[in-house]
């Protein structure tokens, strides 16, 4: 039993990234996170300056090129290949840290909001705003979104004790949380026995105190260990994860504060098989909010891509003509609510119900438990859709950042040299690998879930979910096969 628990919490292999020369030392250093945060903060400053003062042409402004082309494209690839490095280097955390030091630290985030519903709503509205306000076309508005992020993270961290912004609100972080579950790295402890005898639980409580404190702990084997806390110490885990119990990346920002705070040097960033937790039912909570977060992100991925192809304009016009609507926001709200929420929720509930009805053991599991068992299967297919979409933009416009930056610096933008024709074969190959690879991975996870739940009835139990996943990918292939057409708010102009 103990061995099974150990394998649940600790990734197999136990290669610790933090043991690597240079990289490990750098990341573990007290201010190691700044190595990523400062460059990203400077980039954020560049975006703000260019967004507010530069040319208001999306193609020629860092504020639009960097987040909408490079950030999005790189983040999905990094999540798949390495881990949640963008949360690790998040520049919005810098004012957050200041706010945390200034805060009274007396209040937790409201209990009713300690779930993923706010994050789901945040993702929904940011994708809606993206289409309605044409954020992709406006450096000025994109700069305001960045300011809004800094302000929101500062305020929430100043008011609440835990990292409420990261854990419950931030749409970017929520996206990263979900797809970091497919990543090949995870925070884990080296020896669980040490954690059992740990007195201070610094990984979650932190080692920061305004005045220096020295504590002598009894540790395993009757030995003692001197533990120092003080102003140079580290805040504990912002999202209140207890390192020895971490089974999933779902709420881990990879801040490594737990690593720095641990007085026993017992926490590492372990390499694991990619998406290991997706096959472990105990690793994910059986909660509606978590299940729907994963599933709705797939739907939002399709809706986001659908917003770039001609049928969406025909649909908008049809809604306007048929129902006499003259508000683009209202029309987009209807489309997003239907395709991004109502339809996927209905299909999920239907698949869950069918899965239970078609199997003899299905009644043993509630609808919530059934959907929670299959929800992890939507991670790879969702990631595949986002990769297909975002790497398209990244590969099309990768080098355009060079002339844009040259112009920012007052130089002549070398658009000829850095505007090479995109290699459409490569783009198509990446998209196909993303979609087909995601589908196969998802089907494998769903098949494992069906085997676990229904055993000899696994095939009928799997069928509704397999059809849903295949349907999702067919829809994605259809959308990505359509000609791209980017329009602003011209419907009623």
Partner 1 sequence: MKTAILSALLVILALTGCRQQTQEAASANLQIDLRVEPEEPVTGDATLIVTVTDSAGNPVIATKVSARGDMNHAGMTPVIKDAEPSDGGEYSIPFEWTMAGDWTVEITVELADGTKVSQTFEESVASGPGKDSMNMDMGDMDMTAEATEAMDMGESSN
| Binding residues vs partner 1 (CB under 8 A) | 31, 34, 38, 41-42, 45-46, 49-50, 53-54, 57-61, 64-65, 68-69, 134, 136-137, 305, 308-310, 388-389, 392-394, 396-397, 400, 403, 407-416, 419-425, 427-428, 431-432, 477, 479-488, 490
Of residues 60 and 247, the one with the C-beta less far from partner 1: 60
| DSSP letter (8 states) at residue 264 | T
Of residues 41 and 375, the one with the C-beta less far from partner 1: 41
Residues whose CB falls within 8 Å of the CB of residue 380, separated by 6 or more in sequence, listed in order: 182, 275, 278, 437, 438, 439, 441, 442, 445
CA distance to 64, 473, 483, 484, per residue, from 308 (Å): 16, 17, 9, 6
Q: How far is the CB of 198 from partner 1 (least distance, A)?
A: 32
Q: How far is the CB of 73 from partner 1 (least distance, A)?
A: 9
Q: How far is the CB of 32 from partner 1 (least distance, A)?
A: 13
Of residues 42 and 213, the one with the C-beta less far from partner 1: 42
* Interatomic CA distance for residues 99 and 104, integer angstroms: 10
* Interatomic CA distance for residues 467 and 301, integer angstroms: 18
Q: Is 72 left (phi over 0), alpha (psi -120 to 50) or beta?
A: alpha
Q: How far is the CB of 266 from partner 1 (least distance, A)?
A: 29
Of residues 127 and 465, the one with the C-beta less far from partner 1: 127
Residues whose CB falls within 8 Å of the CB of residue 53, separated by 6 or more in sequence, listed in order: none
Q: How far is the CB of 88 from partner 1 (least distance, A)?
A: 18
Q: How far is the CB of 380 from partner 1 (least distance, A)?
A: 18
Q: Is 256 left (phi over 0), alpha (psi -120 to 50) or beta?
A: left
Of residues 58 and 80, the one with the C-beta less far from partner 1: 58
Confirm if 14 and 8 have CB atoms less than 8 A apart.
Answer: no
Confirm if 169 and 122 have CB atoms less than 8 A apart.
Answer: yes
Q: How far is the CB of 480 from partner 1 (least distance, A)?
A: 4
Of residues 51 and 275, the one with the C-beta less far from partner 1: 51
Of residues 100 and 276, the one with the C-beta less far from partner 1: 100
Confirm if 372 and 286 have CB atoms less than 8 A apart.
Answer: yes
CA distance to 67, 117, 197, 214, 444, per residue, from 171 (Å): 14, 11, 37, 40, 28
Of residues 266 and 303, the one with the C-beta less far from partner 1: 303
CA distance to 8, 172, 392, 423, 447, per residue, from 67 (Å): 36, 11, 14, 22, 37
Picking from 71, 104, 258, 90, the residue whose alpha carbon sits closest to that of residue 165 is: 90
Of residues 65 and 119, the one with the C-beta less far from partner 1: 65
Q: How far is the CB of 308 from partner 1 (least distance, A)?
A: 7
Q: How far is the CB of 359 from partner 1 (least distance, A)?
A: 35
């Amino acid at each position: 039993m103990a061995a099974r628990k150990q394998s649940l919490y600790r990734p197999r292999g136990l290669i610790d990234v933090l043991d690597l020369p240079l990289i490990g030392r750098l990341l573990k250093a007290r201010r190691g996170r700044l190595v990523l945060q400062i460059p990203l903060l400077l980039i954020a400053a560049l975006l703000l300056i260019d967004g507010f003062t530069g040319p208001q042409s999306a193609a020629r402004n860092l504020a639009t090129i960097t987040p909408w082309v490079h950030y999005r494209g790189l983040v999905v690839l990094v999540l798949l290949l390495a881990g949640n490095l963008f949360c690790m280097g998040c520049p919005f955390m810098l004012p957050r840290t200041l706010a945390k030091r200034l805060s009274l630290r007396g209040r937790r985030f409201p209990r009713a909001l300690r779930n993923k519903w706010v994050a789901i709503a945040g993702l929904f509205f940011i994708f809606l705003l993206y289409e309605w306000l044409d954020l992709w076309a406006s450096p000025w508005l994109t700069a305001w979104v960045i300011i809004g992020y800094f302000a929101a993270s500062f305020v929430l961290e100043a008011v609440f004790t835990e990292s409420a912004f990261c854990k419950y609100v931030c749409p970017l972080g929520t996206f990263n949380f979900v797809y970091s579950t497919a990543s090949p790295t995870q925070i884990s402890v080296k020896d669980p026995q040490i954690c059992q005898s740990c007195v201070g639980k610094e990984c979650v409580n932190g080692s920061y105190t305004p005045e220096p404190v020295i504590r002598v702990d009894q540790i395993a084997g009757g030995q003692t260990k001197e533990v120092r806390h003080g102003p140079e110490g580290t805040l504990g885990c912002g999202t209140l994860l207890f390192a020895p119990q971490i089974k999933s990346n779902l709420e881990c920002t990879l801040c490594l504060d737990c690593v720095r705070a641990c007085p026993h040097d017992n926490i590492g960033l372990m390499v694991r098989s990619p998406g290991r937790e997706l096959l472990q039912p105990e690793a994910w909570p059986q909660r509606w909010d978590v299940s729907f977060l994963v599933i709705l992100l797939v739907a939002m991925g399709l809706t986001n891509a659908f917003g770039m192809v001609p049928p969406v304009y025909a649909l908008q016009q049809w809604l306007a003509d048929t129902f006499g609507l003259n508000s683009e926001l209202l029309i987009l709200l209807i489309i997003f609510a239907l395709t991004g929420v109502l339809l996927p929720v209905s299909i999920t509930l239907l698949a869950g119900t069918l899965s239970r009805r078609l199997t003899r053991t299905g009644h043993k599991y509630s609808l919530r438990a059934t959907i929670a068992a299959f929800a992890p299967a939507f991670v790879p297919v969702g990631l595949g859709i986002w990769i297909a979409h975002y790497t398209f933009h990244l590969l099309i416009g990768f080098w355009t950042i060079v002339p844009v930056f040259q112009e920012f610096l007052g130089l002549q933008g070398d658009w000829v040299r850095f505007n090479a024709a995109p290699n459409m074969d490569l783009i198509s190959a990446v998209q196909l690998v993303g979609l087909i690879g995601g589908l196969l991975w998802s089907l494998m996870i769903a098949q494992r879930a069906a085997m676990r739940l229904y055993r000899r009835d696994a095939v009928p139990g799997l069928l509704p979910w397999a059809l849903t996943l295949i349907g999702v990918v067919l829809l994605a292939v259809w959308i990505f096969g359509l000609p791209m057409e980017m329009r602003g708010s011209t419907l009623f102009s």
